[in-house]
Amino acid sequence: MKISENYSLLKHNTFGLDVKTRWFVEYENEGDLQKLLSDEYFFSLPFLHIGRGSNLLFLDDYPGIILHSLIQGIEVVKEDENSVWVESGAGVEWDSFVAHCVSKAWYGVENLSLIPGEVGASAVQNIGAYGTEVSDTITAVHAYNVETGEKETFEKEDCGFAYRHSIFKDKKYSGKYFITSVVYKLSKQPVYNLEYGNLKDILAGKDVNLGSIRNTVISIRESKLPNPKEMGNAGSFFMNPYVDIVYYKNLKKKYPDIPHYPVNEEFVKIPAAWLIDRCGLKGKKIGGATVHEKQALVIVNTGSATANDIASLASLVCDNVKEKFGIELQREVLFV
């Protein structure tokens, strides 16, 4: 276990903010985590478990304990003719997990290539891209209950998965469970999901296999999204809003080209990027924070942004969208 005092989180948040935490604790195994959870000092301070900080905005120095799992290991726990159940440690980098699955010819997570972060957070966030959500493959989440110190297993049905949501983000559970591993069920038979975006067009006439899908997803993402190593960001700052169909139809009269995706009989999803772009906010700056020129959903740190610059710009975006379209954007990024 590594414990550091007054530790800079610069390398642990993709916005690249140099904030400090009073304590930073990295544990390598469940034994160390159990020791931590039985230490009274631990409960005397505020605490937060992070992954790679790719969906967080630290507004200030953190006055308590930031925890990070270094639990590694990818293991087959069950197998039949068609499927394989794979358990991965929470501290495994998400994209290394995807690369491993692709190399083993296991189908199901290839569309989620290159999403930053770790396996533990994949379940918290229900990460998604190119028509796939990670909850399509998760069968169980193993986590420690911080209050009892006991290990619990959440079956998929108990996880409350929804768009970028799980019970681990609910008020009742948030911060109360530390995830140690996640079990994914992957297919041994070829099953592809090429319906979303321009995946099918780019792959037309080419060999479609796990490797080519992964490479295509990576190259599209690299061309569209700023690399946090070059320009700090946390990916999509806002979620795509669900809008009542009647309200959407009224908006369509005023904005005939407004895009939408059907959700159910009551709601449609409208791309937040389109709404922000239509407010003319691409390139809008506050201090060192800018709405990305190519992707309106992303707020970038051009080098000197403070957390306040980023948060103020996010509020300005929300206010503009609310004023123009009457739609309230919800943040995807967690403010700490």
Ligand X SMILES: Cc1cc2nc3c(=O)[nH]c(=O)nc-3n(C[C@H](O)[C@H](O)[C@H](O)COP(=O)(O)OP(=O)(O)OC[C@H]3O[C@@H](n4cnc5c(N)ncnc54)[C@H](O)[C@@H]3O)c2cc1C
Residue with smaller CB distance to ligand X, 87 or 118: 118
Let me know: does 74 contact 92? Beta carbons within 8 Å. Answer: yes
Token pair in block for residue 178: 């530390």
Residue with smaller CB distance to ligand X, 127 or 310: 127
94-103 and 210-224 helices, crossing angle to 10°: 150
Question: Which residue from 16, 89, 108, 228 is in contact with ligand X, where contact means CB under 6 A?
Answer: 228
Work out how close the CB of 178 gets to ligand X at its nearest, in angstroms, rounded to a whole number. 5
- Tell me the C-alpha distance between 82 and 97, whole Å: 20
Sheet holding 177-187, edge to edge: 74-79, 83-89, 177-187, 138-145, 151-155
164 catalytic per annotation = yes
Catalytic: which of 54, 118, 236, 331?
A: 236
Let me know: does 110 contact 214? Beta carbons within 8 Å. Answer: yes
Residue with smaller CB distance to ligand X, 251 or 333: 333
Q: What does DSSP say about strands 289-291 and 20-27: parallel, antiparallel, or unpaired?
A: unpaired
Binding flag, residue 140, ligand X (CB under 6 A): no
Residue with smaller CB distance to ligand X, 14 or 137: 14
236 catalytic per annotation = yes
Q: Which positions from 39 to 78 touch ligand X by CB under 6 A, shown as an x/- string?
A: ---------xxxxxxxxx------------x---------
Binding flag, residue 179, ligand X (CB under 6 A): yes
Question: Which residue from 128, 138, 140, 241 is in contact with ligand X, where contact means CB under 6 A?
Answer: 128
Q: Which positions from 241 to 280 touch ligand X by CB under 6 A, shown as an x/- string?
A: ----------------------------------------
Binding flag, residue 117, ligand X (CB under 6 A): yes
Binding flag, residue 334, ligand X (CB under 6 A): yes
Work out how close the CB of 171 gets to ligand X at its nearest, in angstroms, rounded to a whole number. 12
Token pair in block for residue 256: 């005939």
Strands (E), the chain: 2-8, 20-27, 47-50, 56-57, 62-69, 74-79, 83-89, 128-129, 132-133, 138-145, 151-155, 177-187, 242-244, 261-262, 267-269, 285-286, 289-291, 299-301, 334-335
Q: Which amino acid, 145? A: N
Catalytic: which of 52, 164, 214, 331?
A: 164
Residues that bind ligand X (CB under 6 A): 14, 48-56, 69, 90, 115-118, 120-122, 124-125, 127-129, 164, 168, 177-179, 225, 228, 233-235, 334
Mind telling me the catalytic residues?
164, 236, 332
